[in-house]
Structures are given as structure tokens and as C-alpha cells.
Amino acid sequence: MGARAHARLGREGGRLNGEGGAGGTEVAVPPEADGWRADRALAHALGLSRARAAALFAAGEVTRGGRPLAADARVAAGDRLAVARTPASAAVPEGAPTPERLPLRVVYEDDDLLVVDKPAGMVVHPAAGHREGTLVNALLGRGGPLASQDPQRPGIVHRLDKDTSGLLVVAKEERVRRALSDLIARHEVERTYVAVVRGHLPAARGRVEAPLGRHPRDRLRQAVRGDGRPAVTHFAVLEQHARGAVVECRLETGRTHQIRVHLASLGCPVAGDPLYGTAADRRSGEGQLLHAARLAFPHPRDGRPVVCESPWPERILAARDRLRRGLDPLAPGGADAGARGSGA
């Protein structure tokens, strides 16, 4: 049976590959937790404190492949962690996100999932300092079912950074979320971005293969590290100008900040990037000029192709227009609207 068939949902509506026994649960390690300690990954997936998750491991209640799992074992995206009993604290976590009626652009929807176009500046799910105004709050305010394995992140399959705009897929049922996570882990989801960068890329097209891990001194940043997780980004220069370029990037893997770190490693940081850009970028307050423009995947129910595209947002078009005029991509003042094309 092919990889795509493994990811499809059963038409009978039963459980997909099992969800644990009575009183228990099964957690699929999400892509962003690839390479994490098992206790951290479980806490992240169930909305638990690290101490509560560690207690479950200490009690021998967490297994992988039917074997007891140590708290400090490393897990991979798509791994299934079985918990003998569902922690009570996972059912209704303190500070669960609240519904909010917020503008939300939906570009595709069916009975199983939806694809949304997230604006720059919106955090995907509640976290410290961002309890309101997130994509999750907007999804809850919109109404309708959402996958609920993680009450803090209902429906969320993958994430975009706060200042990255564009397309994300959201699952309405837990088995759909697991199937989509499996597709991402097997590199069957096409994620294409457009970025405005500084400098000149070394080639018109290329492939960056550089492992990524936590920066040794700054926990907010990622870095290219020999002991990091494998990471691959494909790029193609759409327009090259004196002060920068417009670049299309396609993810082969999906590590934290991957495109931002890989482009910066080539000497071409994303314009406006407060973590990997220039001093001017950090002062600008603009945020990285990065947009998830295309999302394509086989539908988890029947394998039919789902292809979604998002037009380039105004800030990407404005930065491109400045480059065409020989200006810095973040130069103050308006751009020449007459010079604009259709974007993507």
C-alpha cells in the first residue's frame, strides 16, 4: 500500500489506526515537535505542564510501539505516543482559548478541513503574551467542529510565524489532523513561499541543505548546526535587483524558522526579519517579508488534489516595487502602484 493510501481516512468513520483504549489516548507527534524530548512533545500535544507530562512517563503510562518510553527519549514527527489514561488536566486546561469574532479569510472548506489565509501579525495559537486575537480564537469564534486532541490548539496541523502571512490547513476532526500530520511528515504537502530578501542569491535556482537546531546562545533563534535536524529548502529567484530580490522558496522539510535561517545563511536575510536580518530590519518593526503563497496536498479522505493559492499581500508588492525603483525594500513612502503586477 502506498504512502498516500496510509494517510486516507476510513470511510466507515471509525478510528484511524486506533486512538487508545478506554480512558486512554494516542498522540501523534506534530511536525514542529520533530526531534524534541518525549516529555516536552507530550506536554505540547496535550496542553500539559512539563511536570505533569514527566509524571506520566515516571508512572510508565506512555508507550511508543507498545514499549515503555523514557521521558528523555527523542521523538520524530508522526510518532504515535500512547497514554494509558487521559490526564484530567488535558480535558479542560486552565486558560483554554475563547471564541472571538475576528476577520478570517477561508480559501477552501469541506466537511473534513479548511484552508485559511492568515494575515501577518496574527499569532496562530494562544501562548504567553498572546492569549487573544490568535487564529485559534478566530476559528473558535467562527463556529463549527475542530480537531480537539490539543485543546490549546484545536484544529492546528502546522504553523506560521506571527509575521509570516499566508496559507495554513486546519482539521475539523482529530483523525483528519493525524492524517494531515502524516502527509507533512512524508513530504507529501507542497508548501511554497515568496520572500523579499536583501543581497544577491548565489544562483538563479538552488537547494539549501543545512541542518538546523537551537542557537547556542539565543533560545529565540535557530541556527545552522552540524548536530541539528536535517533541513532542505529549494529556492528560485523571481526578480533580482540592486538592493535585493524576490525569491520563491519551497520547503522539503519544515523546521522552525527554516526559510529565514537558510536564506540568511546565504547572506540574503528576509527583509524586515527581526531575528536574522540586519540592524535596519530589527529597527523597522515591519516583520519578515515572507508569505505562504501556495499549499497543495492529497485530500486525506480520498487522495484528490487540493491546491490553494494566496495572492501576494500589499506589503510584499510594495517592497517589490521599491526594489524595482532601486530603493531599499523597507524604504519609507508609498510604492508605484502603476508598476504592480498581479503578484503571485
Residues designated catalytic? 161
Count Cα atoms within 13 angstroms, Cβ side, for 117.
14
Helix axes 38-46, 50-58, angle to 10 degrees: 120
Q: Which set of grid coordinates corresponds to residue 222?
A: 535557530
Residue 239 has φ and ψ, to the nearest 5°, of: -145, 130
Count Cα atoms within 13 angstroms, Cβ side, for 140.
19
Q: Of the candidates 203, 116, 200, 195, which has an alpha carbon nearest to the alpha carbon of residue 163? A: 195
* Dihedral, CA of residue 166, residue 169, residue 170 and residue 176, to nearest 10: -170
Q: Which set of grid coordinates corresponds to residue 273?
A: 526579519
Q: What string of DSSP letters covers 242-310?
A: TTEEEEEEEESS--TTHHHHHHHHTT-PBTT-TTTS-HHHHHH-----EEEEEEEEE-TTT--EEEEE-
Contact 259/290 with Cβ under 8 angstroms?
yes
Start-to-end C-alpha separation, the chain: 36
- Gyration radius (Cα) of the chain, Å: 21
**Tally of residues, the chain:** 344
- Give the type of residue at 341: G
Contact 81/36 with Cβ under 8 angstroms?
no
- Give the type of residue at 308: C
Contact 322/339 with Cβ under 8 angstroms?
no
User: What whole-number distance in Å separates Cα of residue 31 and Cα of residue 18?
Assistant: 20
Q: Hey, which residues does 115 pair with through a beta bridge?
A: 108, 169
